[in-house]
Structure 1
Amino acid sequence: MLTVVNPEDPTPAAVSAPAVSGGSLIDEIVRDGARRMLAAALEAEVAAYIAAHAGELDENGRRLVVRNGHARPRQVLTSAGAVEIVAPRVNDKRLDEQGERRRFASAILPAWCRKSPQINEVLPLLYLHGLSSSDFVPALQQFLGTSSGLSAATITRLTAQWQDEARAFGDRDLSGVDYVYLWADGVHLNVRLDEAKLCLLVMVGVRADGRKELVALAEGYRESTGSWADLLRDCKRRGMHAPVLAVGDGALGFWNALREVFPDTREQRCWFHKIANVLAALPKSAHPGAKKALAEVWNAEDREHARRAVAAFKLAY
């Protein structure tokens, strides 16, 4: 059983075996990033709302608008899976013109919201473009569907917070951890704003004890050798030792960069991508059987059994 760990949190979270594939790992990273960013944005939205009405008091001098704990956890569905959100609540004791109690309504996460199909397309842009308020606004508009709910001051505060977190993560010392395996993949963004051919370069490492963690997340131009080499050199500068084995897709940029920076690391094509490439060359009717046959190859207990499974696949397909 492999596990995923936050470098700043020593307590590992268990992950099922299928999460080994590159796509599953990235989805998990996206879900965790979505949860953290939504929580921070919701807290900032409520804080701004309360501060805007801090001067409104009742006859006893008590504030009419105050915090009221948190709502029950609820899940927002994304294309990467369900993200659990615990939204802060507001107790607004003011009355409107009709004598009805006013209610705080979040523009970020409305009460009816249960699904956000754009979240993991725009979330990487919040990492990439969240470093300046001018770039953050258009990304936020696509994330929420509107720019309302967060003032310019709140956006600036959140931007500074995430910038500090990103800088601390990107500058952390890697000399104390040995990664046996390293998975690398490029995530190409569907929502690009004005950036052409932009992608995220993602590296996930596996420690000797089987725990898995995000090693690096950086902006890249396509998946060029230069972009991957810059990222690998930066990790090496911060003390990262050469992993025993690197796993990636067929993109030549990563492999050329790996041979330059860590020439002793062994290379292996990712089975997730291998299977996708094989299935793309077969009719859909053959996919169920082919998947099962390919699983016999990569799940083989030794080389001889793997060779037999490969021979059986060739005969069948």
Structure 2
Amino acid sequence: MLPLLYLHGLSFGEFVPALERFLGGTAGLSPATVTRLTKQWADDHAAFQARDLADRVGLRLRLGRRGAPQGAARTGALVRPGALLGVRLDGTKELIALAEGLRESTESWADLLRDCRRRGMRDPELVIGDGAMGLGKALAEVFPAARHQRCRVHKARNVTNCLPKSAQPGATKAMQEIYNAEDRGHAEKAVDAFAKTYGAKFPKAVARITDDREELLAFYDFPAEHWSHLRTTNPIESTFSTVKLRTKVTRGAGSPAAALAMVFKLVESAQARWRSITGAHLVPLVRAGARFESGVLVEREERAA
């Protein structure tokens, strides 16, 4: 597995598959056909969840919006699947796992990550997430060597929610200076400038940046060719936008297991259209522990000598 990790939580109420759209029509969709399809998809998903993950390097994590269908488990927490998207050593992206979990539960995240470790996954080099509750603790337990990168899109939303509308355009531009800086040093200065400009009037908004400084700037320590891939959870977001277009909200999907199997088939289909990351040839260097400064490979001292 590569050095990235993307995690995405799905709301069963949002992603209940519409079989007519998925299969291109209603012909042949008798109860027996639906039962056969969902059974086959469940078997395919089970085989997918059991495969070896020893050659993966990275993952992304993301949680979705609230909601669960009628008939889904009600345990006081929100029930939803967690999805992990990773990058392989050759730079291709791959769905790593898709499993049911609880929105608020650290243990649910930890269970999903433990299963990946059990199947051979080493600590990812970098995990990109949206600040999901419980995720940090789960990562520290299961993949303690992995670094964490906060999605800039979700962070920007969190910051602007703490500001009046009149201040939002300026703050958005100031945050772009942080994420689009030429290197980490300039990004650090942009963080300080943001704090100086907005700290007196909007300390809560500033704290959302300064308290997470390291997790916001982690991507600068990786190849510059990879920066556009590492700043956000967009790769998995766009995938599930496609899933949305092929599904519809209903009062239930028969069972959470059936909904999960159908979503798996939709994502599996979308996976064929994912493009490799830019600078794929640098992925093995990242996994081997090569050091990058300002996005450029730093030669080892002994080699330079």
TM-score w.r.t. structure 2 length?
Answer: 0.54
Partner SS for 1:205: strand
Partner SS for 1:250: coil
1 CA distance for matches of 2:24 and 2:172? 43
Find out whether 1:264 has 2:145 as its counterpart: yes
1 CA distance for matches of 2:98 and 2:61? 10
Query: Match for residue 298 of structure 1?
Result: 179
Query: Match for residue 251 of structure 1?
Result: 132
Query: Which of 129, 133, 151 is matched with 2:30 structurally?
Result: 151
Q: Where do 4+ consecutive residues of structure 1 move more than 6 Å?
A: 20-23, 32-35
Determine which structure has more spread, i.e. the larger CA radius of gyration: 1
2 CA distance for matches of 1:287 and 1:34? 37
Query: Which of 62, 71, 82 is matched with 1:185 structurally?
Result: 62
2 CA distance for matches of 1:33 and 1:211? 28
Q: Is the 8 A contact 2:6 2:127 kept in 1?
A: no
Q: Is the 8 A contact 1:192 1:198 kept in 2?
A: no
Partner SS for 2:166: helix
Query: Match for residue 165 of structure 1?
Result: 44
Structure 1 stretch displaced more, 204-213 or 248-257: 204-213
- Per the TM alignment, residue 299 of structure 1 is displaced from its structure 2 partner at its CA by 1.8
Partner amino acid for 2:33? T
Please give the residue correspondences for 1:62-101 in structure 2 after superposition, counting only pairs within 5 Å: none
- Per the TM alignment, residue 210 of structure 1 is displaced from its structure 2 partner at its CA by 3.9
Partner amino acid for 2:112? L
Q: How many residues align?
A: 188
1 CA distance for matches of 2:64 and 2:21? 24
- Per the TM alignment, residue 218 of structure 1 is displaced from its structure 2 partner at its CA by 1.1
Deviations 1:230-277 (A, max 9, x none): 111111111112101112233341111111111111223332222111
Deviations 1:39-75 (A, max 9, x none): 65336x32x2xxxxxxxxxxxxxxxxxxxxxxxxxxx
Find out whether 1:194 has 2:75 as its counterpart: no
2 CA distance for matches of 1:223 and 1:185? 13
Partner amino acid for 2:37? L
Deviations 1:94-143 (A, max 9, x none): xxxxxxxxxxxxxxxxxxxxxxxxxxxxxxxxxxxxxxxxxxxxxxxxxx
1 CA distance for matches of 2:22 and 2:80? 25
Deviations 1:5-49 (A, max 9, x none): xxxxxxxxxxxxxxx9979x889xxxx9969x6565336x32x2x
In structure 2, relative to structure 1, the CA distance for the partners of 1:281 and 1:260 (3 Å cut) is same
Query: Match for residue 105 of structure 1?
Result: none
1 CA distance for matches of 2:194 and 2:87? 30
Greater relative contact order (CA < 8 Å, ≥ 6 in sequence):
2
Gaps of 5+ in 1: 1-19, 49-149
In structure 2, relative to structure 1, the CA distance for the partners of 1:191 and 1:226 (3 Å cut) is closer
Partner SS for 1:218: strand
Query: Match for residue 143 of structure 1?
Result: none
2 CA distance for matches of 1:39 and 1:168? 25
Q: Is the 8 A contact 1:188 1:222 kept in 2?
A: no
Find out whether 1:237 has 2:118 as its counterpart: yes
Partner SS for 2:160: helix
The structure whose residues are more often helix, as a share, is 2
Q: Quick one: percent identity of the two aligned structures?
A: 49
